Amino acid sequence: MFRRTLFGVVIATTPLLAQVTTPGAGTPCASLAALTIPGVTIKSADIVAAGPFTPPAAPGTPTTVLTLPAHCRVDAIARPTHDSEIKFEVWIPPVEAWNGKFQGVGNGGYSGAIGYAAMAVGLKRGYAVASTDTGHTGDDMKFGQGHPEKIVDWAYRAIHVTAEAAKLIVRDAQGRFAEHSYFVGCSSGGHQALSEAQRYPEDYDGIVAGDPANNRIRQTFGFLNSWIATHNGDGKPTIPVNKLPLLTKAAVEACDAIDGLKDGLIDDPRRCHFDPVKLLCKAGDDATCLTQSQVDAARKMYEGTKSTKTGETIYTGWPRGSEAFGDRAIEGWGQYVVNPNEPMRVGFFRYFLFHDPNWDYRTIDMERDLAFAEQKLPFMSAVEKDLTPFKKRGGKLLMYTGWADPVVPPGDTVAYYDGVVKTMGGLEKTRDFFRFFLAPGMGHCSGGPGPNTFDMLGALEQWVEKGAAPDKVIASHSTNGKVDRTRPLCQYPLVARVKGTGSTDDAASFACVAATPPAAAKPTTGGLR
Ligand SMILES: [Ca+2]
């Protein structure tokens, strides 16, 4: 009886306590338009009812109708410099649906579009979410011509000012600051994620950096070099895109079993030294084999961008297994290397670096022009390896990438993590706040034959809010919407290996174990260009 009575008393007082401890309900949505934040103009603030929402059309992006929960939609512009025009939106759930947290979401490519789809994912989880167009419209790099401040906005400033303004807007709407803030991004969003950890460690408590294009300047040199390596003098591709699947198939056949499990996946392409000469045509060229020049082009893709003077690697090569395993841009070399009529992101040289719209990529001098770029536009990259300020403020960072990423070579992401480990004083002192997960057989941010669907934000929430650091993250692979394989993604440098006799399609059959470090890749050819 006593217990029941006490229980009853507790129940009775809870609503009263809640009233006392919960601050005011905040500012009504429509009134947010009257907020005055320095450097920020709020264009509108409107209640959006639950249901279908059609985002404003963005150049080059197909319009997808989203289904959203009810929220307050704030549309705003930040102008941190005289030439800035940073559009951003903040979506705020009603107080009863709010999880008390804020999430900034990243962009893709050179962006120029608010990430509505990513915002929708966060909003559905109860987050107040924000996204920016990074200060210009469209994926075209011409916006940088004569607008140096807009290049800075794209490179890192837009994400930061959006975070600062959005937190204040959320505070006004809810009557209190968010308890935790997270940033989630992949590709350029991964670049933005690392930039935030490096440049503005106070912005976010937890950060997810996926397939990060953070080594941006060198990646651009890598794209240019790989285009030249895979195209003839007339600009036509040496390897037609429909031959790329031959390479993936042969590489997987040659290297699948190196990890001890024939599952159609190359666990770690650094251990794979498949030489495309195995596909050399015996007689004339046909669809089932490669000509000598096609073999050479593939070798150069694997080998990466090297200094013609010293032979040192300027930018890592693309991994074996990334050539073509699907039709989407994230599933092969087609969209970023083979198909374009000119090197991908050649606009970097024309509009950002040389201010010469007629610049001819054939005039590139790797050493000279790289040195010039890294001196003129160092802020384009986010490669700082000393993350002490982020670690000290208690920030947590989860990074992941696909071992078959055909856009941002995973070797570069591994090199960044290794560099941070070295700078921060070893693996133990790094994994305290920064953990890295590699997904075998995953493409750029998703897709591929390997398990490629996982909840990195969920793992990060556990770490930030409960102190439970993830040792592994379970990933799944689906065919036609049905899960057909699960597998742990192990904390680098551990790898997933079968424990015993269970199903190799079940994550429970695997343990994360240490593997002997792979040997350095054997050189396949001499000079690169
Ligand atoms: Ca395998």
Quickly tell me which residue has 């090297």 as its tokens: 306
What tokens does 166 get? 């959005």
* Per-residue model confidence as pLDDT tens digits over 72-105: 999 999 999 999 999 999 999 999 999 999 999 9
Report the distance separating Cα 134 and Cα 155, nearest Å: 8
- Flag whether pLDDT at 142 surpasses 90: yes
Mean pLDDT of 437-452: 97
Residue 525: band (very low, low, confident or very high) from pLDDT cuts 50, 70, 90: very low
* Per-residue model confidence as pLDDT tens digits over 491-501: 999 999 999 88
Strands 40-48 and 71-78: antiparallel
| Ligand 1 center from residue 459 Cα (angstroms) | 26
pLDDT for 476 equals 98
| Ligand 1 center from residue 88 Cα (angstroms) | 44
Contacts of 31 (CB under 8 A, 6+ apart): 45
| Ligand 1 center from residue 479 Cα (angstroms) | 19
| Ligand 1 center from residue 266 Cα (angstroms) | 5
- Flag whether pLDDT at 526 surpasses 50: no
| Ligand 1 center from residue 504 Cα (angstroms) | 11
CA geometry: angle 437, 423, 407, nearest 5 deg: 40
pLDDT for 60 equals 62
Mean of the per-residue pLDDT values for the chain? Answer: 92
Percent of the chain past pLDDT 70, that is, above it, reads 92
Q: What's the predicted TM-score (pTM) here?
A: 0.93
| Ligand 1 center from residue 255 Cα (angstroms) | 7
| Ligand 1 center from residue 294 Cα (angstroms) | 26
- In terms of Cα–Cα distance, which of 208, 141, 193, 130 is closest to 167? 130
| Ligand 1 center from residue 410 Cα (angstroms) | 17
Residue 378: band (very low, low, confident or very high) from pLDDT cuts 50, 70, 90: very high
Cα separations (Å) of 70 from 44, 120, 265, 370? 16, 11, 42, 49
- Flag whether pLDDT at 298 surpasses 50: yes
* Per-residue model confidence as pLDDT tens digits over 259-295: 999 999 999 999 999 999 999 999 889 999 999 999 9
Active site residues: 187, 405, 444
Mean pLDDT of 195-210: 98
* Per-residue model confidence as pLDDT tens digits over 447-483: 999 999 999 999 999 999 999 999 999 999 999 999 9
Query: Assign residue 380 a region: left if phi > 0, alpha if psi is -120 to 50, beta otherwise?
Result: alpha
Which runs of E-coded beta strand occur in 297-351? 305-306, 313-315
pLDDT for 59 equals 64
- Flag whether pLDDT at 33 surpasses 60: yes
- Flag whether pLDDT at 43 surpasses 60: yes
pLDDT for 308 equals 86
